[in-house]
Amino acid sequence: MKIHDLNSKAFEALQQEFSGPLLRWFDSHGRKDLPWQNPRTPYQVWVSEIMLQQTQVKTVIPYFHRFMQRFPSLWHLAQAPEDEVLSLWSGLGYYSRARNLIKTAKIICDEHQGVFPNDVNLLIGLPGIGASTAAAIASQAFGLPTAILDGNVKRILCRYFMVNGFPEQSSVKKQLWELANQCMPLSRCADYTQAIMDLGATCCTPKNPGCNLCPLSPSCLAHLKGTVASYPFKKVKKTKPVEVRHFLLLYNEDGKIYLEKRPPAGLWGGLWCMPMMEQGLAPEAYLLQHYDLKSIQLEEVVRLKHSFSHFHLHITALAVLVSPSGNAVHENNGNWFHLNQINQLGLAKPTMSIIKCFEEKQRIVSE
């Protein structure tokens, strides 16, 4: 349904029946004890919003606590080494978010004297902050009537107004922004923003929505017509391609393993990872060509599957004991690390899993 499909009186009625019931529901059922709500500072709101991009609240909370303990202010973050920030981000995924946090912290400290901008247009210009994230920061940190449009809000609006079309389609997204702005109240902006996110996370969920508990169900068009399951429209899924890689765990008798820092852009950008090679190459030939390692013995450590948004990665991890003569191996910004140093590094998630499996195998062998 498009906005002009409703006459003005009917649309006014829907608008009035939206924010009021939602805020009353929030007063009784909303989440008010999230760590970034007390105190609700611009810095804490910003960090939480970046962490919450593509990530659930329950996953974010322990990461947020650790992050705030280490970087309690914008100034602390602006001065932090990238490796240290990435190490606290390890396992959270989408690592460009962490690098953008550092960039934005430096910009605010250098160009805004450490004062977080309260203007949406200025916020959108900062690394890693899009329109919806900027609106979330402005409404929650500064109490401004700026509507958000994250996945939860898109789902709620598509159902409530029976918006036809895939939400990421430009014309549909424009329509959803108009609806989001018109539903946004002028007061209790921070509460409203949290309320609509909470509703999407607890009642108006992608599957098995709790319409009987939803404060908007009396005037939700999809609910009234019994078509909630049809909204929002889904994108036709494409089969993800599968890529196969060998991960090479080089270790020595001193208890060190060899890791390389990935390039800033691309897969696991800026993180430490063991050397990896494509399927079809012989590991022995690869190690000879790239690391001048000869007469090696390969031992399989583990096989893993790791999924990205656009492809699946199947990994076979192979361990290689490097003799003292091979300890000079250094290529592609690599270095040797003791296992007790690993927790201080920003590691790709498969690398962490492989190292844990390797440590367990070494422990069993030594017993």
* Model pLDDT, residue 5: 47
Class assignment of domain 242-366?
alpha beta
Phi, psi at 216, each rounded to 5°? -95, -5
Task: State the average pLDDT for the chain.
Answer: 89
Select which of 49, 243, 331, 367 is catalytic.
49
* Model pLDDT, residue 233: 93
On whether the CB atoms of residues 138 and 120 are closer than 8 A, the answer is yes
Q: Strand 272-273 relative to strand 242-251: parallel, antiparallel, unpaired?
A: unpaired
Is-catalytic flag, 49? Answer: yes
Which pTM does this prediction carry? 0.77
**Residue 367 pLDDT > 60, yes or no?**
no
pLDDT band for 289, please (50, 70, 90 cuts).
confident
Task: Write out pLDDT tens, residues 101-125.
Answer: 999 999 999 999 999 999 999 999 9
Please report, rounded to a whole number, the percentage of residues in the chain having pLDDT higher than 70: 92
* Model pLDDT, residue 179: 93
CA distance 52 to 89: 12
CATH of domain 3-230: 1.10.340.30
111's tokens: 């160009």
**Residue 4 pLDDT > 50, yes or no?**
no
Using alpha carbons only, what angle is made at residue 43 by residues 27 and 193, rounded to the nearest 5 degrees?
30
| Mean pLDDT calculated for residue range 140-167 | 95
Among 31, 77, 38, 28, which residue's Cα sits nearest to residue 57? 31
Domain ranges of the chain: 3-230, 242-366
* Model pLDDT, residue 11: 54
**Residue 14 pLDDT > 80, yes or no?**
no
Residues listed for the chain: 367
* Model pLDDT, residue 71: 97
pLDDT band for 236, please (50, 70, 90 cuts).
confident
* Model pLDDT, residue 309: 79
Per the model's pLDDT, the better-predicted residue between 330 and 55 turns out to be 55
274's tokens: 């063991």
On whether the CB atoms of residues 286 and 245 are closer than 8 A, the answer is no
Distances (CA, A) of 26 to 133, 181, 184: 21, 19, 15
* Model pLDDT, residue 332: 56
* Model pLDDT, residue 190: 94
| Mean pLDDT calculated for residue range 10-14 | 59
Rg of the chain over all Cα atoms, to the nearest angstrom:
25
**Residue 52 pLDDT > 70, yes or no?**
yes
Task: Write out pLDDT tens, residues 300-349.
Answer: 999 999 888 789 999 999 999 887 655 556 555 788 999 888 888 888 88
239's tokens: 């089969």
